[in-house]
Structure 1
Amino acid sequence: MTPENILNAAIGVLEMRGRCRGNYELGDGSVDPLGALAVAAGLEPDDWMGLRTLPESQIAGGDRVLVDAAWFLVAAAVPRVETWHLPVDDMVRALGDWADCASDAEILGALTKAAHHAGQVLEVTRG
């Protein structure tokens, strides 16, 4: 699985389960964008609670790919200088704050843009 795959799949997760605000997931199954990314990666939406407390150096495997997907999303969605240097907790907070105020169309657009960018980066690194 790649960040591009996760970002594209998250669009389907949001469309299927519905979107919520302020939580990774609600009892009705709706998810916020971070929750959708986790589900798309085969994880639980609230796995972010643990991931956001870990230092970058301890995030590996599928968790690393999930966090990388979120970095692509925050870069596409949250205009901020040097977002790639934020701790994971700050990145999750910034993305959550943005998502709580963004429209559904803005979220889907940002996911699409982030997936496209992730795919381009993958092509360059493979190239």
Structure 2
Amino acid sequence: MDMFQIISEDRIKKAYEDSEFDNLPGYGKPMKLEDLAGIPEELRMAYKLLKNAGYTQEESGLRQELMTIEDLINKCDDSKERANLKKRLNEKLLRYNQLMSKRRKTTNSSIFKNYEVKIQNKLK
């Protein structure tokens, strides 16, 4: 054991003896373990890091859908279909922004900057 490990172990033992851990939230309750059986073992740590950082599968899926819809709009020739795609894009943008606001994150994507500029121009 190195010196830092010995010092930290001593401090933990002293804190335990002084009952400093007794008032922690969840003390005496069973831990909530996540079921990671569906995730390959080599990806579990990355999954946990992303999840703890607030990235979710829903967010990732929405970002993918936004890019797909934007590509479809750029390649679409039919005006009716383009209008439908823009409506879907707006719905997805709103949902994505809701997810981001829950995490108190701003959206720095060019998609949202363009959307914000369009809204501001309409409001003028």
Sort the TM-score into its range (normalised by shorter chain): under 0.3
Instruction: Determine which structure has greater relative contact order: mean sequence separation of CA pairs < 8 Å that are 6+ residues apart, divided by chain length.
Output: 1
Q: What is the TM-score when the length of structure 1 is the normalising length?
A: 0.27
Q: TM-score, normalised by structure 2?
A: 0.27
Between structure 1 and structure 2, the one with the greater Rg is 2
